């Protein structure tokens, strides 16, 4: 027998679905707006569709449709009396300024990557197999860099490092730092620029990412203070590091226990391990919120498949502090604490 439907509740649910449909269709449009420079051009001054098309060497008819989608979503504004579209300072910070801590287009590149991954992941739902990070669509790599870099710009040097016991002073005096799982190296570069007396080495097993990271560092003119090498988390070289970092990657690894052990082996006796992870509470029900929804979605499509491809435990992006701390303590670290947090990240500090 079919249960009786409450029409008010059904309509409320359907309106949520409509909102998600609008967001889904807008994913590609945000990616287009970023890559074509539409946001940056509109942020300079208000424009009609023809104005913006002229500024960006694009088609007015496409621009008109794009602008109305963006205005309907609240990403840009429309002045009907003048027939002109414009961006507020807040909208510009979120979509037009790559140096902003609130810059968001990278998140939409990640969302786009999930669509490309869907056929493989659909099969994995049946087989339990994984999908290596390097076999994901290219837009995932740049999107991940851009999305997380914004958070690092706003927090890494100003808030996270000062929250660690004695680390800022050590970096200012000069030490050697290993940034493990560095990807395109945005976190490594930010630290190298802030602490010129220290030396930074970024490691990642994904060779194309390391190539990009070295190109970025060279373009920033950082010289011999920074380099990037291909190496995995359980065998990266070096010893007596004053600081070892894992930014938003420990949960992806195939062998997080081995990675923790390698940190313990290569860290100086008075060094610090900094672990930055997606924000998560320890109970799943406490993550049933908008941010948890984003991270569980990314975890399903990218994080869990990556770990499973390496026969790992598939901790997932919402592993939580308690589970992560088990691996830290299991490697012989005597102290692990939550040093600080943001709505998107938790920062753990481990000491030998």
Task: For 105-351, give the CATH class.
Answer: alpha beta
Residue 213 in this model has a pLDDT that exceeds 60: yes
Average pLDDT, the chain: 96
Helix (H, G, I), strand (E, B) or coil at 112: helix
pLDDT, one tens digit per residue, over 171-209 is 999 999 999 999 999 999 999 999 999 999 999 999 999
Under 8 Å between Cβ of 94 and 103: yes
- State mean pLDDT over 6-29: 94
Q: What pLDDT is recorded for position 76?
A: 98
| CB contact set of 27 (below 8 Å; sequence gap of 6+) | 108, 111, 112, 115
- State mean pLDDT over 2-11: 90
Q: What pLDDT is recorded for position 2?
A: 67
Under 8 Å between Cβ of 218 and 224: no
Residue 281 in this model has a pLDDT that exceeds 80: yes
Task: Using pLDDT thresholds of 50, 70 and 90, give the confidence band for residue 49.
Answer: very high
Nearest to 216, CA basis, from 146, 168, 147, 136: 146
Nearest to 34, CA basis, from 115, 92, 114: 92
Q: What is the fold, at CATH topology level, of the domain defined by 7-95? A: Arc Repressor Mutant, subunit A (1.10.10)
Beta strands in the chain (DSSP E): 77-79, 84-86, 176-180, 199-204, 226-230, 241-247, 267-278, 335-341, 345-351
For residue 32, how many other CB atoms are within 10 A of its CB?
Answer: 15
Under 8 Å between Cβ of 238 and 178: yes
Residue 253 in this model has a pLDDT that exceeds 60: yes
Q: What pLDDT is recorded for position 3?
A: 84
pLDDT, one tens digit per residue, over 296-338 is 999 999 999 999 999 999 999 999 999 999 999 999 999 999 9
Per domain, the residue ranges of the chain are 7-95, 105-351
Q: What pLDDT is recorded for position 99?
A: 92
Residue 45 in this model has a pLDDT that exceeds 60: yes
pLDDT, one tens digit per residue, over 114-165 is 999 999 999 999 999 999 999 999 999 999 989 999 999 999 999 999 999 9
pLDDT, one tens digit per residue, over 56-69 is 999 999 999 999 99
State how far the Cα of 297 lies from the Cα of 287, in Å rounded to an integer: 12
- State mean pLDDT over 221-243: 95
Residue 1 in this model has a pLDDT that exceeds 70: no
Q: What pLDDT is recorded for position 67?
A: 98
pTM: 0.92
């Amino acid at each position: 027998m079919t249960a009786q439907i409450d029409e008010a509740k059904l309509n409320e649910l359907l309106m949520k679905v409509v909102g998600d449909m609008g967001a889904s269709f807008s994913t590609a449009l945000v990616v287009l707006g970023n890559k074509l420079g539409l946001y940056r051009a509109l942020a300079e001054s208000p424009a009609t569709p023809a104005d913006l098309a002229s500024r960006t060497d694009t088609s007015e008819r496409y621009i008109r449709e794009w602008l109305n989608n963006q205005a309907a979503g609240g990403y840009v504004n429309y002045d009907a009396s003048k027939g002109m579209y414009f961006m507020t300072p807040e909208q510009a910070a979120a979509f037009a300024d790559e140096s902003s801590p609130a810059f968001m287009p990278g998140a939409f590149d990640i969302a786009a990557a999930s669509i490309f991954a869907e056929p493989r992941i659909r099969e994995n739902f049946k087989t339990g197999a994984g999908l290596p990070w390097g076999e994901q669509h290219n837009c995932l790599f740049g999107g991940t860099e851009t999305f997380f870099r914004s958070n690092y710009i706003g927090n890494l040097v100003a808030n996270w490092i000062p929250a660690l016991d004695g680390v800022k002073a050590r970096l200012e005096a000069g030490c050697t730092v290993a940034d493990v799982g560095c990807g395109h190296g945005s976190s490594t570069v930010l630290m190298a620029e802030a602490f010129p007396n220290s030396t930074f080495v970024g490691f990642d097993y994904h060779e194309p990412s390391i190539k990009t990271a070295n190109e970025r560092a060279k373009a920033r003119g950082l010289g011999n203070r920074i380099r990037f090498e291909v190496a995995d988390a359980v065998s990266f070289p070096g010893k007596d590091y004053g600081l070892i970092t894992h930014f938003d990657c420990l949960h992806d690894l195939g062998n997080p226990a081995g990675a923790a052990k390698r940190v313990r082996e290569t860290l100086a006796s008075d060094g610090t391990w900094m672990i930055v992870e997606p924000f998560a509470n320890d109970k799943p029900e406490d993550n049933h919120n908008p941010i948890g929804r984003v991270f569980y979605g990314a975890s399903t499509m990218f994080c869990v498949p990556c770990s499973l491809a390496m026969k790992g435990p598939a901790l997932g992006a919402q592993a939580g502090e308690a589970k992560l701390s088990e691996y830290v303590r299991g490697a012989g670290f005597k102290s692990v604490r939550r040093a600080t947090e943001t709505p998107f990240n938790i920062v753990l500090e481990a000491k030998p």
